[in-house]
Each structure stands twice: as structure tokens, then as C-alpha cells.
Structure 1
């Protein structure tokens, strides 16, 4: 990832769905038009990004925290930490939010050309308000510097003190106001170099804060980890936790059904023989059992089930239709555990048998 790629992604548009064709209209189309419509629909629906109730709440909090940071005086500002289990979609979430914030800040133009600005008299530079890097396993300070410099198009060779000075300089030169560090759970603090990296992140936050910028740290299972236990980090840390949908509480069930209803609003116009409420009401519990409330698996499940039903000229959406869709290994394993737990017999009779025998 570099600044130009980030710029193109932020200003670009994703694949668009075709206009919905009612079943009767589709059946009357010429064969070639049917094939074109089906190919476009079957390729775009499973990759659909649908607004999530939980994600939208997290986005609102993230935007509010950033706005507060923007109004603080120069200096070390609050660090925003985004924590989530694996596969919840934390990177997708933060990229989607950051791209939207990027579009709000940068005037739309040619998607392939970075905007420019004048950081000081008679100096023109690319304007790069956001930097996004990903930590690798056992990352060291020189690796972080290399990632930032590569994103901004600079050479990364040299001693750490040299590249550190270069990083601080280019952050100012290019007007960076947001530094996103993804996969910070890769940071290992069990050795001295790991501790040095943690200290370096705090240094970067201070330097970025002097420019009026904010640092966002994104990772998996950060709660209870070294990053969230460091007193200097936690003293300035604002946490955002992402999670899959749960259905153990009334509020959780409402959120889950509201999300499924939004999915129906997007999907069902393409499958007009399927009644509204089939997922959000009739099959809501079964859909959760299959996906455990993970957004990506849920979109995949519903889209693939609807496409298969349409392809087979079937009107009804049933549990069997949903069960026929293969999901991720994570979802399959979790579903098997749920089924096994539900089918487990009571141990009472075994204990009674032992008592009688004694």
C-alpha cells in the first residue's frame, strides 16, 4: 500500500449492482441478456458491503473522537484503539471509515493524481492527509519507519536515528493528519526490541500530535494485551471494540434483526418471490446459528442462498436452502460446536446411576 493506491481506493467506486429485474421480466428476456444479468448479479451480490448497525455506531464514535482530537491544542493527543476478534472485519471497518473521511477532506478529482499543497513558501509537495501501514510479525522500529516512508514514496535505508528523523520530516511535509497502524497485535513486547517499538509508537503519537494529527491503532484481542496495559498508552487511549452480533440479550436480538432487515432491503428486490421478513423474522435464529452474527459470513450466506434458489427456479427459502451454502472454516467449526452443545444429553441420569450403584 502506498499513498497513490490509497488515494485511488478512497476516491474510486466499487462494483455496482444491476437494476433489479423482477422474475417475470427476467424470464421474458433474450438468452444473452439473461446470461449477462445473471453473471453480473452472481459476481457482485456475494461481495456486497451492507451497512451494519453495530459498525455504524462504531463509526459515529470514531468520528466524534477524531473531531475532539482535532480541536485539542498541538501536542500528544488521544490515541484511538480499535479492538476486535479475528474475522469481525476490523481492517475493512477502519478502511471504509478512513476512505469516507478522506473523501470529505480531499476535493474529488482525477483518481490517479495525488493533490498537492504548499507546506512552506516556495515548496510544493503531495498532500497525503492519511497514512495506513500494517505491522508484520516481530516488527521493529526500522520496519515501522520503512512502512511509513514507503507509503509516502521515500527510501527507507539508513540507521534508525536517520530514518526516524526522515519520518518526522515527511509527516510534516505531506500534511499527514491521520496515521493508522493495523495489526498491532503482531507487536511482541516480551523482548527489548518489542518494548522499544511500543515506546516508539508513543513518540510518533507525540510528533503527530504536534502537527494536529491522530494515531489509530487497530488489532485483534488487544484487551488484556501489552498494548492496552502500557500505562503511557492507556493514559491517552480511547477504546472502540467491534464484535459480532449477539442474540443473548433483547437489545442484541433487535440489532441482529434490524441488520437482517437491512440486508433484505438490498437483496430482496432481486428476488421478488421471496417475502420480506423471511430472514429478519422467520429464519433469524437459524441464520445466526450458521454465521454466529459475523457480518461477512451473513452476507455470503444470504446472497448465495438466494442466488441458488433463483437459479433452481425455487420460490421458497427454507433452512435447507441456507444449510446448503458452504461458509468459512470459522463459521463451520463454530456452528458444529453450537449443534453439539444443543444436542448434549443431561448428565443427571449418569450421576443417578452411579449413586444407585453405590
Structure 2
């Protein structure tokens, strides 16, 4: 009887492999291919009542509980209004650029959002779906492969911007996606190698994550932005993802000068990349914001409830009931606790599921979730000033002292430049 109840449950060896097996880094060819092939393939185990679980043998009970924990810890990426918006913008760019035969510079996409909004997961999922379609369209063969070569076919490349980026380190990061061994080269040699690699491997989309690490007051970062613009002329679609991109200066390359109280355009201190002066990057990129859930209009409430329903359908808790997350005051409670941020909601549910299993309660409710301390949404979702404030004026009687003067904060990151729309 126990075997009938657990039809389709993987054997213990497979469960152990799923839990203990190492996952290669996504910013390598092997890691990206592993992600692309395995994403969304975790199938939840059958639903059992406490009595049915108790009827299992001890070993199969252990297997079932391990697989339930794995299921509850891996919530699926669901179709949301935010995901649909980003998907449409990226797909329009990818499809249009792959068909464009004349434009020497292909427009790119910037995906901005605050922490825990799911930028990496969203962009990766969309790009992986594009790669699936592209490979199927070309019978999984490189359509422009050079005869006699065996280059890896990589329609999508995913990399993360180095913490302290420079043109050379960015080039090396891109080359490391294909091979961990990159010999020492000059910047012109690296640029040529990157251009050749993107062509030889059939790259159509280049994802650069954590682009918010760029700060336009650093000369190297200005040169990296010039390098990024250069990559747009290599017949690839650039997809940049990062936190609060409008507030980083990437779109207009300007910074707020607290002395003159003006937005100023910092000059390039080096033109060793290709000598272009600063231009308006926003003309070359489509900016899309990956927002959080709202809970004001009936349509917004329904969208959030639908998302909760998807989570509820995925969870495996023995005492879970229909409407566990979607009925009564639970939607309002979960919205209040997460502030509509997908990542925070996910952590709350995952942690709650662990406690529910450990305690034997086997269900989620407000009393259980109240015990969980979870991070709040970013302060960026609250009202913010439109521009940095000038330093306070000194009174005439105030004595100037170098000892009393604080550190220079001109180049500090002051946070978002714009607030959410009034809601």
C-alpha cells in the first residue's frame, strides 16, 4: 500500500543527489546549461494525510519527509504581472535584434528593481526560455559554425559584474564563462578575444548582473560603461540587471555636485577602451522596473491572491487545507509582512514550512508565522527625496575646525532618486 501512495517519488539515492549534489556556478557555460536544463523540473511528491504517512515504512517515511522539505524550500517562479512586463520587454528586444540585419548597434534592456524582487531569477528564466526556443529552431546546432571547429554553442551568456570592475576584469569575466583559463593579455587583445568568442560561440544574449556596482565617479567604471556600449555593436543583445539602476547614474552618467548644487557630467579620465565621449546611455537601452505586488485595486488583490494560490498548491504540509494562504485574513497578513516583495514572501513561507514540519503542526497560520523574524522591504519603496540635500549652512559664529569636520561624503550612494508612484 505504501508503494502505491508514493508512486512517482524518487528513490533515496536520487533525493540525496538533489539535496547534496553540487550545483555549478551559473556564470560558467556548464553552470548555465545545468540551470537551463533543470529549472522548474522539481515535481512535488503526492499529498498524504497524517494517517497515510504513518502507514509507510520507516525508510519511505524518511524519504517522503526529505522530499517534502526539498519541495517546500524550492518555490516555483510563477507567472505574475511583473514577470509578464519584463518578459515582454526582453523578448521584444531579443526577437527584434536577432532578425535585424542592418543596425550596427543593437539596443539593450536594463532590468531594475530593489533587493529580493527576483531580478536574477526573472531574467535568467526568460533568457533560458529564449535559448530553448533558439536551439530548437536550429535543431540544436550552431547555425553559423565555422567548418572544422568545435566551439561551444552558447546562445546566452550570464555573468556578474566584478565588485571592483575595470574594462580588463569585465572582459576576463566574460571569457571565463567559456573557459576558466584566460591567459594574460592587454586590453585591446582582450577586447578582440571577447568579440571573437561571442561570434564563435553564437552568443545572442549577454546578461550582465549586479550592474549597480558601477559608480560614475570612478574612472574605471566610466570606462566599463564605454566597454558595455562597445559590446552592443557585436551583434548581441545586452541585458543589464541591478538594484536601483536609475539611481546609479548609468542612464545619464551624471552625479549631484553638492557644492554647485547641479547635476554635472564627469569627464572621462581615460579613453583607453575606444575613445568615445560620454553619451546618453538611456537612448540605447530600454529600462523596465521589476516591481513588487500592490494591494490597492481589486485586480491587484486578485494578482497577489493568485500568487499565494500557486505557493499553496506547491507546498507539502500534512495538515494544510484549501485556502491556507488565500482565505480569511491571510492575504492581508502576508502582504503586510512581506510588503509585496516576492523574495521576502518566499523566505517567510519557506521558514514557516520548516517550523511547521519540525514542530509537527504541519500547516501555516498567523500564529506560527508571527514567530519568524524576517527582513522588511527596502526603504526605497517608501517616499524618497527627488535629489540629495545640500550640506547645512554654517552660522556666522561657528568656528571652522578641521578636527570637527566629518569625512567627505560627496561620492556616497544617497539611495533612490525617485519614489514609487502615490498609491
Alignment deviations for residues 48-75 of structure 1 (CA, whole Å, 9 cap, x no partner): 2241413244223322332122232341
Structure 2 CA distance, aligned partners of 1:73 and 1:31?
63
Contact 2:144 / 2:202 at 8 angstroms: preserved in 1?
no
Q: Identify the residue that residue 167 of structure 1 maps to in structure 2.
A: 194
Q: What is the number of equivalent residue pairs in this alignment?
A: 322
Structure 1 CA distance, aligned partners of 2:79 and 2:144?
39
Structure 2 CA distance, aligned partners of 1:297 and 1:200?
35
Contact 2:142 / 2:202 at 8 angstroms: preserved in 1?
no
Taking structure 1 as the reference length, the TM-score comes to: 0.80
Contact 1:245 / 1:252 at 8 angstroms: preserved in 2?
yes
Deviates more, 1:275-284 or 1:184-193: 275-284
Alignment deviations for residues 53-98 of structure 1 (CA, whole Å, 9 cap, x no partner): 1324422332233212223234111111100102212112212222
Q: Identify the residue that residue 333 of structure 2 maps to in structure 1.
A: 286
Structure 2 CA distance, aligned partners of 1:150 and 1:87?
27
- Go from structure 1 to structure 2 and tell me whether the alpha carbon gap of 1:304 and 1:34 turns closer, same or farther (over 3 Å shift): farther
Structure 2 CA distance, aligned partners of 1:44 and 1:251?
29
Q: Identify the residue that residue 204 of structure 1 maps to in structure 2.
A: 231
Task: Please provide the CA RMSD for this pair.
Answer: 2.8
Which of 227, 235, 239 lines up with 2:287 in the alignment?
239
Q: Identify the residue that residue 347 of structure 1 maps to in structure 2.
A: none
Structure 2 CA distance, aligned partners of 1:260 and 1:165?
49
Which of 271, 275, 286 lines up with 2:321 in the alignment?
275
Structure 2 CA distance, aligned partners of 1:89 and 1:28?
40
Q: Does residue 84 of structure 2 align to residue 84 of structure 1?
A: no
Pairing of 1:191-340 with structure 2 (within 5 A): 191-207=218-234, 209=235, 213-230=236-253, 231-267=279-315, 270-271=316-317, 273-282=319-328, 283-306=330-353, 308-309=355-356, 312-314=359-361, 317-327=364-374, 329-330=375-376
Q: CA deviation at 1:142?
A: 0.3
- Go from structure 1 to structure 2 and tell me whether the alpha carbon gap of 1:50 and 1:152 turns closer, same or farther (over 3 Å shift): closer
Which of 34, 55, 73 lines up with 2:61 in the alignment?
34
Structure 2 CA distance, aligned partners of 1:117 and 1:124?
13
Taking structure 2 as the reference length, the TM-score comes to: 0.69
- Go from structure 1 to structure 2 and tell me whether the alpha carbon gap of 1:228 and 1:252 turns closer, same or farther (over 3 Å shift): farther
SS in 1 for 2:217: coil
Structure 2 CA distance, aligned partners of 1:221 and 1:55?
17
- Go from structure 1 to structure 2 and tell me whether the alpha carbon gap of 1:314 and 1:180 turns closer, same or farther (over 3 Å shift): closer
Contact 2:353 / 2:363 at 8 angstroms: preserved in 1?
no
SS in 1 for 2:242: strand
Alignment deviations for residues 109-161 of structure 1 (CA, whole Å, 9 cap, x no partner): xxxxx976763344442212111111122311001110111112262411111
Which of 135, 138, 158 lines up with 2:164 in the alignment?
138
Structure 1: state its 5+ residue gaps: 109-113, 338-358
SS in 2 for 1:280: coil
Q: CA deviation at 1:271?
A: 4.0
More helix by share: 1
- Go from structure 1 to structure 2 and tell me whether the alpha carbon gap of 1:266 and 1:12 turns closer, same or farther (over 3 Å shift): closer
Q: CA deviation at 1:324?
A: 2.3
